[in-house]
Amino acid sequence: MAKFMLLYRDAAEPRTQPSPEEMQAFLAMWGDWFQQFGTKILDGGDALLPTGRVLGPGGEVANGPYVEAKEVIGGYSVVDAEHYEEAVEIAKACPIAKIGGAIEIREFAGYN
């Protein structure tokens, strides 16, 4: 088995605030996803705040993420899968994919 990180990408433009009903439906989708894949989801992850810092190669620290970026990472999850194809299938069922978000799928190098 290998570990894969699912990176949830948001468009730079803010989305409209969902209604309470839409938020409840979205949370139910997450519950269904966790139930469907059980132990394959090692870390359900979390959303990320839009603020941050970027440490440059020279040691300079800048406010980030960069404003000119077209997409920002909005959250993540970590899954366990046999290969990329299985990780892709897990990602396809993720609520982020169902609402039209992009998901970057990256395999851990396995150094530790």
Domains of the chain, first to last: 2-10+20-49+57-107 (3.30.70.1060)
For residue 36, give the nearest of 94, 96, 97, 105 by alpha carbon. 94
Mean model confidence pLDDT for the chain: 88
pLDDT, average across residues 66-94: 87
Count Cβ atoms below 10 Å from residue 96 Cβ, excluding itself: 22
DSSP-derived secondary structure letter, 96:
H
**Residue 70, pLDDT score:** 59
Among the ranges given (23-32, 65-74, 80-89, 102-111), the one the predictor scored with the smallest mean pLDDT:
65-74
**Residue 9, pLDDT score:** 86
pLDDT, average across residues 25-54: 92
DSSP-derived secondary structure letter, 40:
G
pLDDT, average across residues 19-29: 94
pLDDT, average across residues 12-29: 85
The answer on pLDDT for 8 being more than 90 is yes
C-alpha to C-alpha distances, 39 to 2, 80, 110, nearest whole angstrom: 13, 8, 19
pLDDT in tens, 42-64: 999 998 887 888 888 999 998 87
Question: Please, is 6 exposed, middle or buried when counting C-beta atoms within 10 Å of its C-beta (0-12, 13-18, 19+)?
Answer: buried
The whole-angstrom separation of Cα 74 and Cα 14 is: 11
pLDDT, average across residues 82-101: 94
Cβ atoms of 71 and 12 closer than 8 Å: yes
